[in-house]
Homo-oligomer: A and B are copies of this chain.
Amino acid sequence: MSETTLKDRPLTAHATQRRRFIRDSALAALAAGTLAACRKGEAAAKTASHGPAGHPPATPAPAALSPREKADEMDRMHEAGIKAFPAKTKGKGNQLMTPRLDGGVKVYELTAREIDWEVSPEKSVKALAYNEEVPGPQIRVREGDRVRVVLTNKLDESTAIHFHGLELPVDQDGVPFITQPPIKPGETYTYEFTVPLGNSGSHMYHSHHNAAKQVGMGLLGAFIVEPKSPRSIEQVDHDYVFILNDGVHGYTFNGKGFPATEPLVAKLGEKIRIRFMNEGMMIHPMHLHGMHMTVIDKDGWPQPAPWKCDTLNVAPGERWDVIVNCNNPGTWAFHCHILPHAESDHGMFGMVTALVVQK
Measuring CB to CB, which residues of chain A are less than 8 angstroms from any residue of chain B?
30, 34-35, 37-39, 67-68, 70-72, 74-75, 78-79, 82-83, 156-158, 162, 164-165, 167-171, 173, 175-182, 184-186, 208-213, 215-216, 281-283, 285, 287, 289-292, 298-301, 303-311, 313, 315-319, 328-333, 337-340, 342-345, 354
Minimum Cβ distance to chain B for residue A214 (Å): 9
Minimum Cβ distance to chain B for residue A313 (Å): 4
Considering residues A177, A298, A311, A315, which has the most beta carbons from chain B within 10 angstroms of its beta carbon?
Answer: A177
Contact A333 B173 (CB under 8 A): yes
Give Cα A231–Cα B107 distance, bound, in whole angstroms: 45
Contact B173 A339 (CB under 8 A): no
Assess A307 versus B298: contact at CB under 8 Å? Given A37-B180, A330-B173, A345-B213: yes
Q: Which residues of B contact A354 (CB under 8 A)?
A: 178
CB closest residue in chain B, given A81: B177
Q: Which residues of B contact A291 (CB under 8 A)?
A: 167
CB closest residue in chain B, given A300: B310
Assess A37 versus B181: contact at CB under 8 Å? Given A156-B71, A167-B328: yes
Considering residues A30, A39, A215, which has the most beta carbons from chain B within 10 angstroms of its beta carbon?
Answer: A39
Contact B290 A301 (CB under 8 A): no
Q: Which residues of B contact A184 (CB under 8 A)?
A: 68, 71-72, 75
Sampled A-B contacts (12; CB under 8 Å) = A34-B171, A38-B180, A70-B157, A71-B157, A169-B330, A170-B330, A178-B333, A179-B331, A210-B344, A215-B339, A292-B299, A316-B337
Contact A212 B339 (CB under 8 A): yes
CB closest residue in chain B, given A170: B330
Q: Which residues of B contact A78 (CB under 8 A)?
A: 176-177, 182, 209-210
Contact A171 B37 (CB under 8 A): yes
CB closest residue in chain B, given A331: B178
Contact A318 B313 (CB under 8 A): yes
Instruction: Point out the residue from B215, B292, B317, B339 that lies within 8 Å of A211, measured CB to CB.
Output: B339
Considering residues A164, A173, A315, A340, which has the most beta carbons from chain B within 10 angstroms of its beta carbon?
Answer: A315
Minimum Cβ distance to chain B for residue A166 (Å): 9
Q: Which residues of B contact A211 (CB under 8 A)?
A: 339, 342-343
Q: Which residues of B contact A344 (CB under 8 A)?
A: 210, 212
CB closest residue in chain B, given A80: B177
Contact B178 A75 (CB under 8 A): no
CB closest residue in chain B, given A330: B170
Contact B176 A315 (CB under 8 A): no
Minimum Cβ distance to chain B for residue A271 (Å): 16
Give Cα A27–Cα B196 distance, bound, in whole angstroms: 29
Give Cα A342–Cα B212 distance, bound, in whole angstroms: 8
Assess A70 versus B156: contact at CB under 8 Å? Given A78-B182, A170-B328: yes
Assess A316 versus B339: contact at CB under 8 Å? Given A71-B185, A184-B71, A308-B298: yes
Give Cα A170–Cα B281 distance, bound, in whole angstroms: 33
Q: Which residues of B contact A30 (CB under 8 A)?
A: 178
